[in-house]
Structure formats: C-alpha cells, structure tokens
C-alpha cells in the first residue's frame, strides 16, 4: 500500500500524527490478513509498535506486510512503514513497525476457523 502524507494529517507542530501512520499500517495489514484468512477479518491487537523516525508532509509512505503466524482463528502480520522523503530521490527509510493481529470473522461477525494446509499456510 502506498500513500502521500498530507498537511491535513499533521499535529499542531507540523509532524504527521502517529495515529495516521498507524491507520495506514492497519489498512495494509488488514488487506494482507484478508487474503491469508480468505475473508473478513478485524484487528484485535497491535503489539510491539515502534516509531523509529518521523513522517513528514509530502513523504511517500509504503507499507509492507509479512505473515508472522496463523492461529486457529487469527492471523498475525508484521507491518513495516517506509518513506521516500519528499520528491528527493533518496533511499527509502523505515519509520515504523509493529505486529498486528487480526481475527477471522464469519458473516455474523463471530470468530471463525482459518483453514490451513499441511505446511501451515491458509488455504
């Protein structure tokens, strides 16, 4: 997932809100977990959040996801947020990372089993 940090996403000091970057990471992680669980998921926990560097207005923000584990009804996704600063052609920098846990839901909104094959991957 990729987006641009805009002036409307700042706090009174002109820095991008931590909650804004957290929301972008949750969207990316939820999309990843949806594919792994093959259906609806909801965020149930965010652990190990680390804000390494600030995000500035104009930064291009990219979120990258890796499945950490698949449980009976949950999918844990490690999400990293990286930025490309402004319009400068500088190397990307990781700014934030965390572990997002999603529960798979059925049509009624109740937890459901995430089916796995023998290798532990969702099927």
Q: What is the pLDDT of residues 1-41, one digit of tens each?
A: 899 999 999 988 888 999 999 999 999 999 999 999 999 99
Instruction: Answer yes or no: is 118 within a domain.
Output: no
Residue 120 scores a pLDDT above 60:
no
Instruction: Answer yes or no: is 82 within a domain.
Output: yes
Predicted local confidence at residue 100, as pLDDT: 98
Instruction: Answer yes or no: is 112 within a domain.
Output: no
Instruction: Answer yes or no: is 117 within a domain.
Output: no
Kindly report the CATH number assigned to the domain that includes residue 78.
3.10.129.10
Predicted local confidence at residue 89, as pLDDT: 66
pTM exceeds 0.95, yes or no: no
pLDDT of 54-87, one tens digit each?
999 989 999 999 999 999 999 999 999 999 986 6
Number of domain units in the chain: 1
At 47, give phi and psi (nearest 5°).
-130, 155
Q: Choose among 57, 47, 20, 24: nearest CA to 102.
A: 47
Burial of 119 (0-12, 13-18, 19+ CB in 10 A): exposed
pLDDT of 89-99, one tens digit each?
677 899 999 99
Instruction: Answer yes or no: is 120 within a domain.
Output: no
Boundaries of domain holding 95: 2-104
In this structure, are residues 95 and 123 in contact, taking their beta carbons and an 8 Å threshold? no
């Amino acid at each position: 997932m990729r987006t641009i940090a805009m002036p409307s996403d700042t706090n009174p000091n002109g820095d991008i809100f931590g909650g804004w970057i957290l929301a972008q990471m949750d969207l990316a992680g939820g999309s990843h977990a949806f594919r792994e669980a093959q259906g609806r998921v909801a965020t149930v926990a965010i652990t190990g959040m680390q804000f390494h560097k600030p995000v500035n207005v104009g930064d291009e923000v990219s979120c990258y996801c890796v499945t950490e584990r698949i449980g009976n009804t949950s999918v844990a996704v490690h999400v990293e947020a990286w930025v490309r600063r402004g319009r400068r052609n500088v190397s990307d920098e990781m700014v934030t990372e965390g572990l997002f846990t999603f529960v798979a839901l059925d049509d009624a909104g109740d937890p459901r089993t995430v089916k796995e094959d023998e290798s532990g991957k969702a099927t």
